A and B are shown apart, each in its own frame.
Chain A
Amino acid sequence: MKPPLVKRLWKSFERTRVGRSIFRVGLPESRLERSRAMISSFLLHVQPAKVSRRSLRPGYTLGLGLISLYLFLILIATGVLLMFYYVPSTDQAYNSMKDLQFVVSAGLLIRNMHRWAAHLMVVFVLLHLCRVFYTGAYKRPREFNWVLGVGLFLLTLALSFTGYLLPWDQLAYWAITVGTSIAGYAPLVGQKLRFLLLGGHTVGQEALIRFYALHIIVLPGVAGLMIAVHLWRVRKDGGLSRPDEPGDLVEQVESGQLPANKTYGLMELARGTTPQVGKDPEEEVSAWPHLVFRELLLFLLVVAVVLFLAIFWNAPLEEFANPVHPPNPAKAPWYFLGLQELVSHSAFWGGVVVPGLLVTALLLLPYLDRKRAGIGRWFARERAVANTIFTLCLVAAVVFTVIGTFFRGPNWGWVEPWKQPPAVTEGP
Chain B
Amino acid sequence: MNSSIPSNEIPRRGFFQLTLGWIAATLASAASAMAAVRFLVPNVLYEPSQRFKAGKPEDYADGSVTFLEDERVFIIRKGNAFRCLSAVCTHLGCTVNRIKTGYHCPCHGSLFNNQGKVIGGPAPRPLPWFLVTLSKDQRLVVDKSRVVNGDKYLVV
Instruction: Report whether A329 and B47 are in contact in the complex, using a CB–CB cutoff of 8 Å.
Output: no
- Residues of A contacting B97 in the complex (Cβ-Cβ under 8 angstroms): 426-427
Instruction: Report whether A347 and B47 are in contact in the complex, using a CB–CB cutoff of 8 Å.
Output: no
- Residues of B contacting A411 in the complex (Cβ-Cβ under 8 angstroms): 104, 106, 109
Taking a contact as CB atoms closer than 8 A, the residue among A174, A205, A347, A413 that contacts B109 in the complex is: A413
What CA separation (Å) do A347 and B108 show in the bound complex? 11
- Residues of A contacting B124 in the complex (Cβ-Cβ under 8 angstroms): 347-348
A325 lies within 8 A of chain B by Cβ: yes
A177 lies within 8 A of chain B by Cβ: yes
Within 8 A of A (CB), among B30-75: 37, 40-42, 45-47, 69-70, 72
Residues 90-121 of B, flagged 1 when their CB comes within 8 A of A and 0 if not, give 01111101111001101111000000000000
B79 lies within 8 A of chain A by Cβ: no
- Residues of B contacting A327 in the complex (Cβ-Cβ under 8 angstroms): 106
Instruction: Report whether A202 and B47 are in contact in the complex, using a CB–CB cutoff of 8 Å.
Output: yes
Instruction: Report whether B92 and A343 are in contact in the complex, using a CB–CB cutoff of 8 Å.
Output: yes
Looking at the assembled complex, report how far the CB atom of B70 sits from the nearest CB atom of chain A, in whole angstroms: 8
**Known contacts being A178-B93, A325-B95, is A412 close to B109, with CB within 8 Å?**
yes
B21 lies within 8 A of chain A by Cβ: no
Instruction: Report whether A346 and B107 are in contact in the complex, using a CB–CB cutoff of 8 Å.
Output: no
A204 lies within 8 A of chain B by Cβ: yes
Instruction: Report whether B95 and A410 are in contact in the complex, using a CB–CB cutoff of 8 Å.
Output: no
Residues 391-428 of A, flagged 1 when their CB comes within 8 A of B and 0 if not, give 00000000000000000001111000000000000111
A41 lies within 8 A of chain B by Cβ: no
Instruction: Report whether A326 and B106 are in contact in the complex, using a CB–CB cutoff of 8 Å.
Output: yes
A40 lies within 8 A of chain B by Cβ: no
Residues 119-137 of B, flagged 1 when their CB comes within 8 A of A and 0 if not, give 0001010000000000000
Instruction: Report whether B109 and A178 are in contact in the complex, using a CB–CB cutoff of 8 Å.
Output: no
What CA separation (Å) do A178 and B108 show in the bound complex? 10
Taking a contact as CB atoms closer than 8 A, the residue among A326, A347, A410, A413 that contacts B94 in the complex is: A326
* CB-nearest residue of chain A to B96: A427
- Counting contact residues on chain B (CB < 8 A from A), the size range is 20 to 34
- Residues of A contacting B42 in the complex (Cβ-Cβ under 8 angstroms): 199-200, 206
- Residues of B contacting A381 in the complex (Cβ-Cβ under 8 angstroms): none
Instruction: Report whether B122 and A324 are in contact in the complex, using a CB–CB cutoff of 8 Å.
Output: no
Instruction: Report whether B98 and A428 are in contact in the complex, using a CB–CB cutoff of 8 Å.
Output: yes
What CA separation (Å) do A372 and B79 show in the bound complex? 77
* CB-nearest residue of chain B to A327: B106
Taking a contact as CB atoms closer than 8 A, the residue among B45, B103, B104, B107 that contacts A178 in the complex is: B107
Instruction: Report whether B104 and A206 are in contact in the complex, using a CB–CB cutoff of 8 Å.
Output: no
Instruction: Report whether A196 and B40 are in contact in the complex, using a CB–CB cutoff of 8 Å.
Output: yes
- Residues of A contacting B91 in the complex (Cβ-Cβ under 8 angstroms): 181, 347
- Residues of A contacting B37 in the complex (Cβ-Cβ under 8 angstroms): 196
What CA separation (Å) do A344 and B46 show in the bound complex? 31
What CA separation (Å) do A347 and B121 show in the bound complex? 11
**Known contacts being A326-B94, A427-B99, is A410 close to B106, with CB within 8 Å?**
yes
* CB-nearest residue of chain A to B45: A200
Residue with the greatest number of chain A CB neighbours at <10 A, chosen from B37, B70, B92: B92
Taking a contact as CB atoms closer than 8 A, the residue among B46, B92, B98 that contacts A205 in the complex is: B46
What CA separation (Å) do A182 and B91 show in the bound complex? 9
Instruction: Report whether A326 and B95 are in contact in the complex, using a CB–CB cutoff of 8 Å.
Output: yes
What CA separation (Å) do A195 and B108 show in the bound complex? 23
Known: A326-B95, A426-B106. 10 other contacts (CB 8 A): A174-B94, A181-B91, A206-B42, A324-B95, A343-B92, A343-B122, A346-B122, A347-B122, A348-B124, A426-B99
Q: List 29 A-B contacts (CB under 8 A).
A: A174-B94, A177-B92, A177-B94, A178-B92, A178-B93, A195-B41, A196-B37, A200-B42, A200-B45, A200-B47, A201-B47, A202-B93, A206-B42, A324-B70, A327-B106, A328-B107, A330-B94, A340-B108, A343-B92, A343-B122, A347-B122, A347-B124, A411-B104, A411-B106, A413-B109, A427-B97, A427-B99, A427-B100, A427-B104
